[in-house]
Amino acid sequence: MSISIYIEPIATGEELIKKLLQDEFGISEINAGILFTNLVKPHFDKFKENTFVLAETNYVDKVYRDSYYHYYSSKLHKYKRDSVRLSFFEEKISDTDFFDENQHSVLQKKYRGFIVLRPTEPFIMGRSIISPLLLKTNNFMFCVSKFHTTANGVKFTVKGFPHSSQDTETISCAETSLWAIMEYFSNRYSDYQPVLPSKIIRTLNQVSSERQVPSKGLNIAQMSYALKEFGFGTRIYSKQQYATEFDSLLSCYIESGIPIIVAIDNRHRGGNIGHALLAIGHSKIENNEIDALAPYTTSNTTLTGALVAKNIVLYDYDAITKDFVFIDDNHPPYQKAPLAQPAKHYGAEWHTCEVTYFIAPLYPKIYLEAYEAKNYVRNFIITGPEPLNNDSQILLRFYLASSRSFKDAIAKNDTVKEDLKGILIETSMPKFIWIAEVSSKDLIKESKANGIIIVDATEANIYFNKPLILAAYNDKLILFDEISGALESNSLALQNFRIFEHNLNDFEL
Amino acid sequence: MINRISRTEAIKAKMKQEGKVTTLDKAQHISAITTMNKQLEAVRREYQVKDRNSQITASTVILTA
């Protein structure tokens, strides 16, 4: 049984896909046309005009094969085992390039990822990893991972985020989101394992009083449980509970490079939609969006009183209105939408949907989560022992980072003064730290800050500044004396430095 | 001879020598830290309620679409 291979420009993509659906999956010509128009074309329409498609039949897809052996093979109807893989290249390619080793580096430069078509009519769109470089518009930053794959026998790498559509029977939107998030984390960090649909079903069987297939979706608590079983210290945030802080907490985790599961629904508005998707990044921040940022306000009367008394204006970077980037199994990857209209790319019946919950999959030893950490920093700089000067106007950019990545970035950052650089690199830090960069509206437009507060993400004891590792702002360095244990303020001239931008990445080759 | 290349101790010692170090143990500092403790305790209580309520209601939202 040999593999059939085709190379076509995207302009003749319709003809190619319809032929593959008919020849490989036994789908009728009429249905193949409908499936192309409804499911494949929305993906192709986002790709650049100079895209070339390499199609391979008889592809063994790990995700579909798992669903096939655990579910589809037990049905009367004969589902096929094999899938079709479409690989994408920017600019023309030819079959001879693949057999010429000298051309492999050229092919790698043109390679932009793949989409699997699976024989589960009408839900044929399987897993994919598409480089945003293939998209006509890609002005965003997101949680990127590099994936290893092959096309026509040659090994390639692609940077992107995993995506799949649901088959509605073994994986609904909820299971697909779990699969995608684990695929990302397991590919990026050795602490995690990838999961297949049968593992998700098996895990949830332990806490379910009913069978899990055919899938009827999952509730948010079940999704959080599954992530916990897969090795995360998950936290659930409800919009109703966190109210005005909700959006900025979500934004803070995204800024931390943590993809999160987002629940949107309109049942509280009389609808019947409940949907899970992933938020993985945001659009690049424009200067006018920074200018439009309103000062931070809080219901905390002590903090508000101190802000007024000292005439301090505080801006929260997370509150900047921007588009977020979503991985949505009903749409092609990298959909952009503001949090206020998360379903704006859907039809009218979805427009009443709003983000009601999100689940943050945290590293299990992050004991201090975003709500408390952000509050700690605000209290420290406004009402703490070494507060901001009166009449200050500052913008706080807050995120979680691994101390490894942070120190690496500091070591390479030639805008950080030598003394501060030495102290930052030589200070003991846990695996993850909360960082608040102290900047201003003008400075942040240049991607710069002039102060920094580092907080221990493993320290849940918030008394007597226990979580503080060090703070440097207002030309002062504040840290604990190692011998006496007393908090000390040292005069240290600071200068503007480049902010840390390694959590969310561009997607260069 | 083995050279220690870390700089933090030298930087701190130099700052101390130049009189640039203030221990934050005066009455106003202690008062600020105590106020912070109370503030953060209130934040924690608030957080615990929000967190628990988020967990409880999370099991009622079914995601199927």
The partner residue sitting opposite B40, judged by closest CB among A173, A357, A376, is: A376
ipTM: 0.95
The partner residue sitting opposite B58, judged by closest CB among A216, A357, A465, is: A357
Q: Is the Cβ–Cβ distance between A284 and A364 less than 8 Å?
A: no
B2: in domain: no
Are A490 and B15 an interchain contact pair (Cβ–Cβ within 8 Å)? yes
Q: What is the mean pLDDT of residues A168-188?
A: 96
B43/A contact by beta carbon, under 8 A: yes
pLDDT at A1: 79
Structurally, chain B folds into a number of domains equal to 1
Rounded-to-integer distance, Cα A39 and Cα A41, Å: 6
The partner residue sitting opposite A265, judged by closest CB among B22, B25, B61, is: B61
Rounded-to-integer distance, Cα A439 and Cα A290, Å: 12
Are B24 and A481 an interchain contact pair (Cβ–Cβ within 8 Å)? no
Complete DSSP assignment for A247-274? HHHHHHHHHTT--EEEEEE-GGGT---E
Three-state helix/strand/coil letters over A117-131: ECCCCCCCEEEEEEC
B52: in domain: yes
B3: in domain: no
Residue A314 scores a pLDDT above 90? yes
Rounded-to-integer distance, Cα A21 and Cα A35, Å: 9
B31: in domain: yes
Q: What is the pLDDT of residues A326-350, one digit of tens each?
A: 999 999 999 999 999 999 999 999 9
Q: What is the mean pLDDT of residues A96-112?
A: 97
Rounded-to-integer distance, Cα A253 and Cα A248, Å: 9
pLDDT at B56: 95
Residue A508 scores a pLDDT above 80? no
Are A387 and B12 an interchain contact pair (Cβ–Cβ within 8 Å)? no
- Give how far Cα A67 sits from Cα of A23, A199, A214, Å: 22, 10, 11
Rounded-to-integer distance, Cα A500 and Cα A498, Å: 7
Q: What is the mean pLDDT of residues A396-400?
A: 98
Q: Are strands A313-316 and A393-402 parallel, antiparallel or unpaired?
A: parallel
Are B40 and A463 an interchain contact pair (Cβ–Cβ within 8 Å)? yes
Q: What is the pLDDT of residues A409-461, one digit of tens each?
A: 999 999 999 999 999 999 999 999 999 999 999 999 999 999 999 999 999 99
Q: Is the Cβ–Cβ distance between A184 and A145 less than 8 Å?
A: yes
Q: What is the pLDDT of residues A260-304, one digit of tens each?
A: 999 999 998 999 999 999 999 999 999 999 999 999 999 889 899
A353 phi, psi to nearest 5 deg: -70, 140
Residue A482 scores a pLDDT above 90? no
B10: in domain: no
Task: Note down the domain range covering B56.
Answer: 23-65
Residue type, position A196, single letter = L
Q: Give the pLDDT band of residue A69 (cuts 50, 70, 90).
A: very high
B7: in domain: no
Rounded-to-integer distance, Cα A468 and Cα A488, Å: 12
Q: What is the pLDDT of residues A24-36, one digit of tens each?
A: 999 999 999 999 9
Rounded-to-integer distance, Cα A472 and Cα A500, Å: 15
Q: What is the pLDDT of residues A12-59, one digit of tens each?
A: 999 999 999 999 999 999 999 999 999 999 999 999 999 999 999 999
Are B33 and A384 an interchain contact pair (Cβ–Cβ within 8 Å)? yes
Q: What is the mean pLDDT of residues A468-483?
A: 95
Rounded-to-integer distance, Cα A41 and Cα A247, Å: 33
Dig out the tokens for A143 from the structure.
């949680």
B42: in domain: yes
Q: What is the mean pLDDT of residues A48-77?
A: 97
Rounded-to-integer distance, Cα A226 and Cα A171, Å: 14
